[in-house]
Amino acid sequence: MRLVDVRQPRPPSPTGSWFGKAWKLGLATAFVVLLLSSRGASQPQTHSQVAVRNLAATSIPCAPLPPGVTTWDASMGSIILPTNDTLLDPNACVGGIVVPYNAMLVIDGSKGSVLISSHGTGISVQGGELETINTSATSTVTFDAEADVASWDGISISADPHRSGDASLSYVSIQHALTAISITSGALSSPASGSYGLTVSNSGIGPSYFDGIDATNTPISVTGRIDPGTGQSDGLFGTLNNIGSQGIKVMFDPTLPNYPATIPARSLDVENMTFGSSVPFGETNCPPLTSCAAGTIGNDAIQATFARNAQEPVLINNNQFFRAGSYGLELNNPNNPVLTSNSFSHNGVGSTEPSGTCPKNAVNNFPPIYLNNAVVDLEYQVTGNFGQHDGLEAIVFNGTVTSSTLTWRTASTDASKPLGYLLDGDL
């Protein structure tokens, strides 16, 4: 079967492709400029639990951590990372605070909330390990930029010849990073999991000037906390908000280093998260998921590209997606993804009035879910997903449907009905 492509065609010319997506680049760029210009202003969507700095402070020198375990905790006062600006300091810490393969950095919340602020440099886990312990809703870890800089380099995790770097973070807020977390190590386990090289739980990511989390050839788990009253994400512990480009960006590519031959569990597990809305951990005047908590994501909330015909399972469950500039969820080459009980609102250049489900009304508007070249069971594994006021109210897909039967659901703007279907290619 062949139907008309509801997406704008991609011109073969690189120049044409750039102009075809220039509005998206402009949206992300404008968002970055907005964040940079408002860095010193009050930002209700940030996540700092520590409202006042301790008088004591510990400055971290620009040197690799020693072998063994290094622990940072609240007894150190504010933990200050150095500058990465060589114009200010010829010996600036351009490569970050390095956690080498034989070292582990533990951030311990047992003595209270921990504040780590940076004059620009990031934390570079090069074959080592990063872990938070003894954290909770009242003992959090906050990473942020110092007031004299607009941003810092975030947390990067890579492999070295000895070991694949990994990390497990819980009740962590990462603010004003260029990209909050990036991982390319190919690790298949971490302190909190035997299946994921990176786990992030009950945390707040953003503002980030570019992406929230970037993962290449590494399985990751990102989970939030459920509100027992609603059964949905609580919009407080487990958020990605005010992101310049992609909220979570994942790529599995066998032509790149550290491609895993097998995946222990899933390549991507995102559950009980809130995208495009957040409240500071200690905030009492702004209830979660209300207008004062609203933010934006410049492009996709989740964008993932998988190797063709590979067994790289995906679970996207019980998340809330708000105000992503492009797709809420974009999966390229997914193989039997499980997408259940997600809700979408005002994504894909959404407005107060739905744009409808007709492709001719959807210029520069995007659906909440796009499955490209998918091998997918729409009958049993893609269920219970609802949307309202999105750019194009549908699950748009092409590829292969694996279920023996398929009950076709016509796309509709009725928010009480699960998202219907639109084809944009072969089936």
Backbone phi, psi, residue 316, to 5°? -125, 105
DSSP characters for 276-343?
A: SB---TT-SSS-TTSGGGB--BSS-SEEEE--TT----EEEES-EEE-BSS-SEEEES-BS-EEES-E
221 close to 257: Cβ distance less than 8 angstroms: no
Instruction: Please give the Cα distance from 405 to 70 (Å, whole number).
Output: 56
Helix (H) or strand (E) holding 62, with range, is none
**pLDDT score at 19:** 31
**pLDDT score at 108:** 99
Helix (H) or strand (E) holding 198, with range, is strand 198-201
Q: Of 60, 143, 73, which is closest to residue 112 (Cα–Cα)?
A: 73
Domain residue spans of the chain: 38-324
Q: pLDDT by residue (tens digit) across 272-321?
A: 999 999 998 888 899 999 999 999 999 999 999 999 989 999 999 999 99
**pLDDT score at 25:** 45
Per DSSP bridges, beta strands 166-170 and 114-118 are: unpaired
CB-side neighbour CA atoms (13 Å) of 384: 13
Positions of the chain with pLDDT under 70: 1-55, 350-363, 426
Amino acid identity of 220?
I
158 close to 126: Cβ distance less than 8 angstroms: yes
Predicted TM-score (pTM) of this structure: 0.87
First to last CA, the chain: 6
Backbone phi, psi, residue 333, to 5°? 60, 35
Residue 38: C-alpha distances to residues 33, 147, 150, 207 (Å)? 8, 12, 9, 11
154: left (phi over 0), alpha (psi -120 to 50) or beta: left
Q: Of 317, 318, 234, which is closest to residue 278 (Cα–Cα)?
A: 234
Backbone phi, psi, residue 319, to 5°? -105, 160
**pLDDT score at 55:** 54
H helices, E strands: number in the chain: 2, 32
Question: Locate tokens 């907005």: which residue?
Answer: 34
Q: pLDDT by residue (tens digit) across 122-148?
A: 999 999 999 999 999 999 999 999 999
Which 3 state secondary structure label does DSSP give 76? helix
| Secondary structure of 101-157 as H, E, C letters | CCEEEEEECCCCCEEEEECECCEEEECCEEEEECCCCCCCEEEEECCCCCCECCEEE
Amino acid identity of 120?
G
pLDDT over 90 percentage in the chain: 78
